[in-house]
Amino acid sequence: MGIFSLVGSKDIGMDLGTSNILLTIKGKGIVLNEPAVVAIKRQNNEIVATGHEAKEMIGRTPEQIRAVRPMKDGVIADFTATQLMIKNIITKVCKRYNVGRPRVVVGVPSGITEVEERAVEESVLQAGAKEVYLIEEPMAAAIGASLDVAEPSGSIIVDIGGGTTEVAVVSLGGIVVSHSLRVAGDELDEDIVNYVKREMNLAIGETTAEQIKMQIGCAMPLMTDVPMTIRGRDLSTGLPKNIEIYSSQIQQAMAESVNEIVESVKQTLEKTPPELASDIMEKGIVLAGGGALIQNLDKLLSYKTGMPVYVAETPLECVVKGTEKTIEDLERLKTVLINARKRR
């Protein structure tokens, strides 16, 4: 018997992302937004921490504890850790908000395998959910960005998450053309780590790289070249060192990966049926996910495609808001779901 069976039922939406997990409860909005990280005891798989607390442990744990990001490049890299993390987070939220035996819609990467689908479903069902529905992240992002996916009219969503960039043309409740690229936020962070190591002889961690990306990262030059002071380990002396880095350098560091994202969008547009392409030309491209916040990425995409490009309102929350809207209008939007399973 799961925790859900103890109290009143409410419906739940969940974004199972590579970098972050978000949960929404019907009538309460987003109730959890945490890094998709879990710390586990090696001996017995007992959970030590999840979310922000677990993320702080990465690279700092003793031998008997492992702190991991179980999702990598949009797929489940560690089944055990993923299942433990999902159960722990859902149970924690449901205790806090008195939720019992809900229907749960989970946004999952579009490249997920059937085996991975079952792993996600079982994790949610074992926590006590009554029904589990899966929806592909680009479809959820489109719904969350207020695109009317059920209409006989084409829309394009570019969801740049942590592990993958998902480009999808949607119409009549389905994905018509899509492309999943394993180049996204994590790859951009890695680009920055490698650039700083190569050009400045300084070792920095992924957390520092992410801060650099969010503060001064850009896809096209900014009005002024913005500086940022960072700290790392000097590879010559092995000692801590502060240096100043500029937005133009970060643009250069990320240029190759950003270009891959742009090419992925162009390839998807090239495969789009003419009637839908006409709709998209009129409506424009919508950007969602954390990568949508990179400065001037919308301008670069517009320049490269000749189309209007818009950043969704609260792009980081598009997928989870899409799961919430789906469960609120389940009968009309049932066609967008991958499948549905009920607890026996």
Task: Give residue 1's pLDDT.
Answer: 39
Higher-pLDDT residue of 189 and 128 is: 189
* DSSP E strands, the chain: 12-16, 20-25, 29-35, 38-41, 47-50, 65-68, 71-72, 75-76, 103-108, 131-136, 155-160, 165-171, 174-181, 202-203, 227-234, 240-246, 285-288, 309-311, 337-342
CA 116 to chain centre: 17
Query: What's the pLDDT score for residue 9?
Result: 54
Q: Tell me the two tokens of residue 344.
A: 């026996």
Report pTM: 0.88
2-26 per-position pLDDT tens digit: 434 334 458 999 998 888 999 999 8
- Dist. CA 163–CA 331, nearest whole Å: 31
Set out the domains of the chain in order of their start, with CATH numbers.
3-137+319-342 (3.30.420.40), 141-183+254-316 (3.30.420.40), 192-253 (3.90.640.10)
Virtual torsion, Cα 138, 220, 71, 329, nearest 10 deg: -20
β-strand pairing of 240-246 with 227-234: antiparallel
Residues 103-120: what's their mean pLDDT?
85
Mean pLDDT of 240-261: 97
Proportion of the chain above pLDDT 90, given as a percent = 65
Tens of pLDDT, residues 249-258:
999 999 999 9
Tokens found for residue 213: 């990306």
The residue among 75, 186, 132 whose CA lies nearest residue 340 is 132
Identity (one letter) of the amino acid at 42? R
Q: 3-state class of 204 per DSSP?
A: coil
